[in-house]
A = this chain, B = another copy of it.
C-alpha cells in the first residue's frame, strides 16, 4: 500500500488520556482510536495486524479439529438464569439492556450457556461426540477500571473454543492437544520463550485451571516461575498446599509480573447437567456431556506484543503479525531517478504478493524514518541515490537495527 493513500496519520505527542504503553503507541502510530475508556476502534493498520493474529490462532484451532461458528452478543436472560450466572450478585460484569419488544437482555461476557444450548439440538448419541467448536467474537465486560489499553477492554475480541466429550478420558486427551495448540500459537507469535503454563484458581469447576502468562512489567498478575520445569503458579493459588500438589518447591520459584494470554478450564458436567446436554452411550444410557473451555484474546495478544517488544522509538512487530513485512522508504522526489527506482521495486513487491507499505510521500528523510520506527514493520528498505546507482538496497531490521545491503532478487525472495 502507498503511504500517501493511507488515511491515518502518526503523531509525535503521547495521548494525554491514555496511561497504557500499548495503547499510547498504537494510538500515536494510527493503529487504533480510543472511543472511551476501555473501548477502542481498529484503524486499517490495526485491523490488518489483528487479523493476522486471528489467522494464526484459527489455523491452530482448525488443526485440533475445531469447527468455527459465531454466536450473538445479545444474550437470553432466561438461559443464563438456569445456570445462575445472570444475577449481578453472582456475575458483576454484565452490560444489561431492555428489548423494546419486552424483556431484558445482556451482552455476552462468555458463551458457555448459548453454545451448550445449541449443542442440545445437535448432540444426542455417543456417535455425535466429541465436538470442538470455536469463534472469534466480541465480548463485552463492564469493567470498573480500564487502564491496560487493549490488554483489557470493555469490548474486545476473544477466541473461545468449547469442547464436548463423552467422558473424562476423551476430555483429557483433547485438553492436552488444546494446551499444545496454545503453546504453538505463542511460539508462532514469538513470545513462546517468556510465556509460561501457569496454575491458577479453578473456580468452582476444578481445583486448578491452567493459564498461559507472558512476562511483562505491564501485567496485572504476579506469578512464581519454576524455570527448570517451565511452569508457574499464579499468586492467587500460591500456598504450601498447592505447591505440594503441583510438585513445586518455594525455593526454586522466581516472582515476576505477567499478563494472562490464554486460559483453559475444565467445566466438567456443570453446564451440560443444568442445560440438559446429554447423550445416549453405547448401552443407551443417558449421560451428561463433559465440557472444557479454552480462551485466547487476539486483541490482548496484540497489546502484549507491543508492550513486550516495543523500544524507545516505537512499535516492533514480529514478521508473522506485522501489517506489512517491508516499509519501503523512498528518499526521492516526484519524477526523479530515485523515486523511479523505488516505484519499480514497489511494483515488483506488489506483483510478488509481499505486503509492503511504500512511503512515497514528499517528506524529509528524518520524518519518514521516525514514522517507520514508530510503525514498526520488521524490515525497512531505504531507496536513496546509492541504491539507484548500485542496485543494492539498504535493508534495516527494525528489532535489531542490523543493516544489510540486499539485491532486488534477495528482497523479492521473502515469504509472501
Contact = CB atoms under 8 A, between A and B. Distances in A.
A36 B100 contact: no
Contacts of A105: 36, 95
Copies of this chain, count: 2
A287 to B, nearest CB: 18
Chain A interface size, as a band, is 35 or more
Nearest to A76: B36
Interface in A9-40: 9, 11, 30, 33, 35-37, 39-40
Contacts of A55: none
A41 B71 contact: yes
Contact of A44 (B67, B76, B142, B144): B67
A131 interface: yes
Interface in A94-113: 95-101, 105, 107
Contact of A39 (B72, B97, B133, B144): B72
A9 B121 contact: yes
Interface of A: 5-9, 11, 30, 33, 35-37, 39-44, 46-47, 65, 67-76, 92-93, 95-101, 105, 107, 114, 118-119, 121-123, 128, 131, 133, 138, 140, 142-146, 154-155
Given A73-B138, A97-B107, A101-B144, 15 more contacts: A7-B122, A7-B128, A8-B122, A9-B122, A41-B118, A43-B69, A46-B69, A47-B68, A73-B73, A73-B155, A95-B105, A97-B97, A99-B154, A100-B142, A107-B107
12 contacts: A7-B128, A9-B121, A9-B122, A33-B118, A35-B74, A36-B76, A44-B133, A47-B70, A97-B97, A99-B154, A101-B145, A101-B146
